[in-house]
Chain A
Amino acid sequence: MNLALSDEQVFLREAARGALSRFKTLEAAREALDGDAAAMPDLWPTAKEAGWPGLLIDESHGGAGLDAFDAMLVLGECGRVIAGIQLLGHLPATAILNASPNAVSLLDDLATGERRAAYLPVSPPGDLEDRWSVDPARGAGRPGAPVAVAGDGQARVSGELAFVPDAPGADLLVGVALLDGRPVGVAIEGAADGVSVQAVQRYDATRALGHVSLKDAPATVLDAPVEALAGAWHLAQALIAAESLGSVETALDVSVAYAKERHTFGRAIGSYQAVKHSLTEVLRQLDNGRSLLYYAGWARNGAPLEFPLAASAARSVGGRALDLAARTMISVHGGIGATWEHDAPLYFRRAQLSRRLLGGTSAATDRVAGELIVQADAA
């Protein structure tokens, strides 16, 4: 039994915290909301320097050969300072390619970060939904996965994917398409004919999103096993959960510090049960979320059949924890917490958008139920 961080993992986390602390990410997030997109620091060179793009790529292809939990630690640090960094898109894409023997030639440049990939999120079927599906541009109906048609050497892929994290400017798009009704991995050059990526910004300027439109786009069909295609979706769920919980840590720290300093009626407000208990509730959800990150981190290799359950549960708890932490941060600070100059609204904006990306927190919660129902049927 060992669920403690290794020395290397502690170092990875501390190094990430140090590297990101060199940037004024919160100020930049606020300025970008005011329309100054150039205020957002380009953190990709920092990611390259730290070796994060290659975290999940085998060492034989220039990567660090680390595991999902290590990537989660880095994402957690990004979440602490709501850094806009394109790892949420890049890392699941590299996980698919790393599991595709015919794609190894693509890995070296992605491992160094010379080229950047973005994952095209396609949700695997569940116990009620038998299709692979994508996020819609609007509404609750989910369109089907992109469709591939076999050609000579390469396939042609068509489909629409909305709100794809880190798609703008990506060199390579990696996702899932249906070839003769069968899910296959596909890798598509960002600059290829038939690919259009429309950058969109919604509510949280730190999040680079794109509507991706594919019209007969030339694609390499990957020979990744279908488990790796579904696994990328669940990995993305675990990563955004880790990122969310990192934001919860900061929101809680800042709120606790303020509750110790701010006095009303002759007492620090943190001495009032009403305030203390709401902060304790944030801690409870944060701690539950952390435990589920360990579950997901362990399950990806230790119990692959449980990885969908673990990652979905982490996403479910992480999303709810972030919403609660951001709202509590605002209310503990009183009216000032709801003003533009305060940091709390940045975490609040992060919470509202994050919970609607990559299928959304609610869908992850439903998948927890679905996975458990399937387990119960099998027992």
Chain B
Amino acid sequence: MDLDDTPEQAAHRAQVRGWLEENRQYAPVLQGPGALEDEAEIVAARRAWQGKLAEGGLAGVTWPKEYGGQGLGPIEQVMCNQEIARAKVPGILDAIGVGMLGPTIIAHGEEEQKSRYLGPMLHGDEVWCQLFSEPAAGSDLAAVQTRARLQDDGSWRLTGQKVWTTNAQFASYGLLLARTDADVPKHKGMTMFIVPMDAEGVTVRGLRQISGEAEFNEVFFDDVELDAGAVVGGVGNGWGTALTTLMFERVTIGLGGEGMGYNSTRFATAIAADEHARRDPEVRHQLGEIASELLAVRFTGYRTLTALQKGQIPGPEAGLAKVTIVNGAIKAGELIADIVGPDALAESSDWAYMISFLPGLKSAGGTEEILRNTIGERVLGLPPEPRLDKGIPFSELRSKEGAPA
């Protein structure tokens, strides 16, 4: 049992570290003195930096060499991410594209699609977004209503709405799950498409959240024309293709470890700074409980890495770590706000930002309730909740009516 690199891994790490030392001068400055402020400048600088990282072999590490990757394992990608964090430079801008959508195209796409899209994606020349969730299709993703209709000439017409779309405001392309046949049960009538975000009829609107910032977008499609070559993975196979993306999402989350900065050290540091709180038994008890669980998640991440290294793919139980992180961070925010007082809620405060962000994060990637259902059924083997949508054509389901107004 160890957390050490093998000799090969150590050599790879040294090479990555050397590359970063040589090239960090090209990395955009996002924080502190001299930081870029203009949104468009930041995006441009981060795209260029992603290109550098890709050239240096630090991005798309697990992608096959023929598509510009390194053909290495997830552990080598993690090492690159660790070294990037250690060098205090930004990572790639398009983590969703390179981490999830590109691998989906590699798995299911046509050769033409691979040669056209993967290179520019990896190098940040074209940023991608994931167009899966809808107002009435989140946890129940197979309830998507965005409709693609086949035309006589083989092209498609796309109408509907997507939501929670990260990076849509500057994306060149999106990978979109649409309903192509409403007269079959819902999992069967879907197809995956590549959608140019500058196509006529595509509208992107920022979606402001509790904090006031727009982390996500809504994307509207009004009779958007797609050519026949836009289909990924075959007509009617959209669900299987989407499952591949979601599997890579789990891998990405598994590789992210504690991510997001919700870790025991950060919270303990805040409490240690208050002379009274750090001696208060109740505060210490709460900190101890929260921190223990967050420390556990760090090692759950290492266990996941061990499994990945052995070629195993993380299962749905990986979702438990997300539940632990989000709920732990919510409790930590409560505790810190109790200690700091209203200043913790000042608009400029990191704590206010965290406190505002977490309620929504609880539902991101599937609500906690759905995660617990999935884990209960697929990990513990408990019987599923009776379902009212099995085997029924989508057109006859209530969910097609959408969310209540």
A-B contact count (CB 8 A): 185
Give the contact-size bracket for chain B.
Answer: 35 or more
Question: Which B positions have Cβ atoms within 8 angstroms of A?
Answer: 1-5, 75, 264-265, 268-269, 271-273, 278-279, 281, 283-285, 287-289, 291-293, 295-300, 302-303, 305-307, 309-310, 317, 320, 323-324, 369, 372-373, 375-377, 379-386
Q: Is A259 an interface residue (CB 8 A)?
A: yes
Q: Do residues A288 and B302 form an inter-chain contact, with CB atoms below 8 A?
A: no
* 24 A-B pairs (CB sep. < 8 Å): A1-B3, A1-B302, A1-B309, A2-B306, A2-B309, A3-B303, A3-B305, A267-B386, A268-B382, A273-B373, A277-B373, A283-B379, A284-B324, A287-B300, A292-B295, A292-B296, A320-B289, A365-B285, A369-B283, A369-B288, A370-B284, A372-B264, A372-B272, A372-B291
Q: Does A291 lie at the interface of the complex (its beta carbon under 8 Å from any beta carbon of B)?
A: yes
- In the bound complex, do residue A287 and residue B317 qualify as a contact, i.e. CB atoms below 8 Å apart? yes
A370 to B295, CA, bound (A): 14
Once the chains bind, are B295 and A256 in contact (CB under 8 Å)? no
Is B376 touching A276 in the complex (CB atoms < 8 A)? yes
Query: Per-position contact with B for A352-368: 1 when CB-CB < 8 Å, else 0?
Result: 00000000001011111
Whether B269 pairs with A376 at a CB distance below 8 angstroms is yes
Write the nearest CB–CB distance from B254 to chain A, whole angstroms: 13
Residue of B nearest to A267 (CB): B386
Residue of A whose beta carbon sits closest to that of B305? A1
- What's the Cα separation between A372 and B395 when bound, in Å? 56
Instruction: Kindly report which residue of chain B lies nearest to residue A6, judged by CB atoms.
Output: B1
A276-328 interface with B by 8 A CB criterion: 276-277, 279-281, 283-284, 287-289, 291-292, 294-295, 297-298, 302, 309-310, 312-314, 316-317, 320
Q: List CB contacts (< 8 Å) of A33-77 with chain B.
A: 69
In the complex, whether A375 has a CB less than 8 A from a CB of chain B is: yes
B382 near A271: Cβ-Cβ < 8 Å: yes
User: Is A376's CB under 8 angstroms from B265's CB?
Assistant: yes
Q: Which residues of B contact A368 (CB under 8 A)?
A: 287-288, 291-292, 295
Closest 10 CB pairs of A and B: A372-B268, A288-B296, A365-B288, A276-B376, A270-B382, A291-B299, A369-B284, A376-B272, A368-B288, A313-B292
Could you tell me if B1 and A317 are in contact, using CB atoms closer than 8 angstroms? no
A104 at the interface (CB under 8 A from B): no
Bound form: Cα–Cα A273–B299 in Å: 29
Contact A367 B299 (CB under 8 A): no
Contact B292 A267 (CB under 8 A): no
CB of A24 closer than 8 Å to a CB of B:
no
Bound-state Cα–Cα, A312 to B1, Å: 20
Smallest beta-carbon distance A167→chain B, Å = 29
Whole-angstrom distance between the Cβ of B302 and the nearest chain A Cβ:
5
Q: Which of B75, B269, B272, B310 sits near A4, CB closer than 8 Å?
A: B310
Given the complex of chains A and B, what is the CA–CA distance between A270 and B323 in angstroms? Answer: 21
Decide: A279 and B306 in contact? CB cutoff 8 A. Answer: no
With a cutoff of 8 Å between Cβ atoms, the chain B residues found around residue A298 in the complex are 1-3
CB atoms of A365 and B292 under 8 A apart: yes
Q: Check A295 against B295 for contact (C-beta < 8 Å).
A: yes
**Contact flag A280-B376 (CB < 8 Å), given A271-B382, A289-B296, A375-B268:** yes
Residue of A nearest to B270 (CB): A376
CB distance from B80 to the nearest CB of A (A): 14
Q: Which residues of A lie under 8 Å from residue B287 when comparing CB positions?
A: 368-369, 372
| Interface 0/1 of A110-122, CB less than 8 Å to B | 0000000000000
- Determine the chain B residues whose CB is within 8 A of the CB of A313 once the complex forms: 288, 291-292, 295-296
Check if A277 sits within 8 Å of B369, measured CB to CB. yes
A295 to B293, CA, bound (A): 12
Instruction: With A1-B2, A276-B382 as known contacts, state yes or no: A295 contacts B272, CB within 8 Å.
Output: no
CA distance A280 to B369 in the complex (A): 10
Q: Which A residues are CB-close (under 8 A) to B291?
A: 313, 368-369, 372
Interface centre among B279, B292, B295, B385 (most CB of A within 10 A): B292
Provide the bound-state CA to CA distance between A195 and B298, in Å.
Answer: 45
Judge whether A373 and B376 touch: CB under 8 Å.
no
Residues of A close to B289: CB separation below 8 A:
316, 320, 365
Which residue, B285, B291, B309, has most C-beta atoms of chain A within 10 A? B291
Given contacts A256-B382, A291-B296, A369-B285, 8 further A-B contacts (CB under 8 A): A283-B320, A291-B302, A314-B292, A364-B288, A366-B288, A367-B288, A376-B265, A377-B272
Cβ contacts under 8 Å, A259 to chain B: 382
Would you give the shortest CB distance from B308 to chain A, in whole angstroms? 9
The residues of A that contact B1 with a CB separation of less than 8 Å are: 2-4, 6, 69, 294, 297-298, 302
| B272→A373 contact, CB < 8 A | yes
B296 touches A276 (CB 8 A): no
Instruction: Check if B293 sits within 8 Å of A317, measured CB to CB.
Output: yes
